[in-house]
Amino acid sequence: MEFYDDEKNELQKKEDIITEAIDQLFQSSAFGNLLSGFQNLINSSLKDVQTTIDVRERDAGLYVDITIPATFRDGEIVVDVKSMYLHVTLQEKQKQHHEATFTSMTRTVQLPYEVRQEDMETSWNEQTMTLFFPKNKHE
């Protein structure tokens, strides 16, 4: 049994050495710098198009806060409610010379209870659109 434990420990040491060598390769080499730069580029470009949907339940009803990225503020916002699901689609069309670029993003969230789209009230605050569904309308 002792021989097996020694062999297992030796294998673990070798695995640790290999893992450390790979980490060194990817973190401190030119290749690692390239990967890091690429990841930063992706993260910074996605930051401008990210949206969040926060659902708050209050005594008066259900509030849904949707942050609208700057890239979509001049576009079309489509809100569709089906039972307990809220679907938000952001669409943007940009024209340059003789070509057009279409960008679209859809998010779906499950609400805590059923709501009706015809009862929805909408308001804006800077980059946040707030949807309100009164509680007494759906109980």
Read off the pLDDT of each residue in 59-88 and give the average, rounded to a whole number: 87
Confidence band (pLDDT; 50, 70, 90) for 57?
very high
Domain that holds residue 24: 2-47
Instruction: Based on the fold, state whether residues 32 and 77 are members of the same structural domain.
Output: no
Q: In the chain, how many domains are there?
A: 2
Query: Per-residue pLDDT for 44 more than 70?
Result: no
Question: How much is the pTM?
Answer: 0.59
Query: Per-residue pLDDT for 77 more than 60?
Result: yes
Q: Where are the alpha helices (DSSP H) in 29-109?
A: 30-47
Domain C-terminal end among 47, 65, 82: 47
Instruction: Based on the fold, state whether residues 34 and 81 are members of the same structural domain.
Output: no
CATH of the domain at 86: 2.60.40.790
Cβ neighbours of residue 86 under 8 Å, at least 6 residues apart? 53, 64, 79, 80, 108, 109, 110, 111, 115, 131
